[in-house]
Amino acid sequence: MNLVPHAPTTAHLGHYLTRTPTGFVLHMSASPRNLRAARGLTHDVLHGAGVEPDAVDGAQLVLAELYGNALHACGDFAPLVAEVEAGPTGVWVRLHDPDRVRLPRHTGVPLDDPCAESGRGSR
């Protein structure tokens, strides 16, 4: 599936977009404006790829939730990388720190521990 055969790379204040054959990679600083841009881009790219509307809405929701988590953990204007990809078996949405070498640390507390202070979205 080739969404944009010769998509240009564009840059704007606060974000740098690279289109891929099946989606995009967006380097951005965490801000409400950039989240709106990423959600709109997600809609446009997935809609253009023929993805079902419910899956497009779901992808936008996942992106916003991941963004909110990153903003909560890292603060305003933290560097983030959003990746959205449409494929024959589904849609992939990733949001991560630009330093892919850094990984989350395991605390040793089982996720299903009722006394855990974090994990599975709890605070």
User: What's the mean pLDDT in 52-70?
Assistant: 93
Query: Is the sign of the CA dihedral 64, 39, 59, 98 positive or negative?
Result: negative
CB atoms within 10 A of CB 56: 19
User: What's the mean pLDDT in 49-67?
Assistant: 94
pTM: 0.71
Lateral strand order in the sheet of 10-12: 10-12, 15-20, 23-29, 79-87, 90-96
pLDDT by residue (tens digit) across 75-113?
A: 888 899 999 999 988 999 999 887 766 655 656 667 667
What is the rounded (10 degree) CA torsion for 123, 31, 66, 97?
-100
Structure tokens at 43: 């809609």
CB atoms within 10 A of CB 3: 19
Structure tokens at 90: 């589904």
Scanning the chain, the segments in alpha helix (DSSP H) are: 32-48, 53-74
Contact between 95 and 82 under an 8 Å Cβ cutoff? The reply is yes
Higher pLDDT, 10 or 48: 48
- Average pLDDT over all residues of the chain: 80
CA distance 89 to 20: 17
CA distance 26 to 16: 6
